[in-house]
């Protein structure tokens, strides 16, 4: 009876087990993401809420419209985007302090590539209904140094003077590739097993 090498076999088994675990983890992530996106989709058609809720309730109102009143705390930061007519230009974001001391982000509106509207200065008041969109990555750019940063963006439906309303992000823009990642991990595990079996057979013939 041909002996199977113990150490290489243990290494392959551990690697395959890890790949399978990663695939199962991606499936769980996919189920979580699908539930989150379903919650977001349900929020889109609901009536606006009266104000931005407490931090621990933000996830429950993502993509819902809200009445927002805040005070500008930063100069605008631009990012490529579109207006309501799908024209290409720039979306403009500022930090905006709420009455309770938290600072969120506000999309004050869209501007054309060659347009140079005068942005609202620090201390300017903004008040509008807008859609609440979680965006931690943008928050790291806009809310640097804020005492109580809230990584949520409100896309104002009534933009600042000189700007046009931006086209809000869509739920479909949020990536959800976890199931495809799971398939990749399972394939990696299967390939590892096949390669190792072939290696064992060649080793046996050589002996």
The domain locations on the chain are 37-173, 177-207
CA 162 to chain CA centroid, nearest Å: 29
pLDDT of residue 202: 84
Let me know how many helices (H) and strands (E) the chain has, helices first: 3, 6
Torsion on CA atoms 132, 136, 142, 148, rounded to nearest 10: 80
pLDDT > 90: percent of the chain: 64
pLDDT > 70: percent of the chain: 98
Report the alpha-carbon distance of residue 200 to residue 135 in Å, rounded.
50
pLDDT of residue 207: 62
- Report, as an integer, the average pLDDT of 69-84: 94
Instruction: Reduce the DSSP state of residue 174 to 3 states and report it.
Output: coil
Report the alpha-carbon distance of residue 187 to residue 69 in Å, rounded.
51
- Report, as an integer, the average pLDDT of 162-171: 91
Average pLDDT of the chain to the nearest whole number: 90
pLDDT of residue 186: 95
pLDDT of residue 161: 92
**pTM (2 d.p.):** 0.76
Query: Tokens for 83?
Result: 């207006």
Is the model's pLDDT at 103 over the cut of 70?
yes
**pLDDT tens by residue, 129-160:** 999 998 899 999 999 888 889 989 999 999 99
Is the model's pLDDT at 4 over the cut of 90?
no
Q: How confident is the model at residue 1 (pLDDT cuts 50, 70, 90)?
A: very low
Matching residue, tokens 């579109």: 82
Q: Kindly tell me the burial class for residue 168, based on how many C-beta atoms sit within 10 Å of its own C-beta (0-12, 13-18, 19 or more).
A: buried
Instruction: Reduce the DSSP state of residue 190 to 3 states and report it.
Output: helix
Is the model's pLDDT at 112 over the cut of 70?
yes
């Amino acid at each position: 009876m041909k002996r199977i090498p113990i150490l290489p076999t243990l290494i392959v088994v551990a690697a395959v087990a890890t790949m399978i675990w990663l695939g199962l983890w991606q499936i769980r992530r996919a189920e979580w993401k699908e539930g989150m996106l379903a919650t977001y989709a349900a929020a889109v058609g609901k009536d606006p809420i009266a104000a931005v809720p407490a931090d621990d309730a933000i996830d429950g109102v993502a993509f819902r419209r809200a009445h927002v009143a805040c005070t500008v705390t930063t100069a605008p930061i631009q990012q490529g985007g579109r207006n309501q007519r799908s024209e290409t230009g720039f979306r403009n974001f500022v930090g905006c302090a709420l009455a309770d001391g938290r600072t969120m982000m506000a999309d004050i509106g869209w501007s054309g590539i060659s347009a140079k509207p005068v942005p609202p200065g620090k201390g300017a008041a903004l008040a509008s209904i807008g859609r609440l969109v979680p965006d931690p990555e943008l928050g790291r750019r806009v809310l640097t140094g804020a005492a109580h940063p809230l990584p949520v963006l409100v896309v104002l439906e009534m933009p600042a003077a000189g700007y046009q309303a931006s086209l809000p992000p869509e739920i479909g823009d949020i990536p959800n590739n976890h199931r495809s990642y799971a398939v990749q991990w399972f394939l990696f595990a299967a390939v590892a097993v096949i390669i190792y079996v072939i290696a064992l057979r060649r080793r046996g013939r050589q002996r």
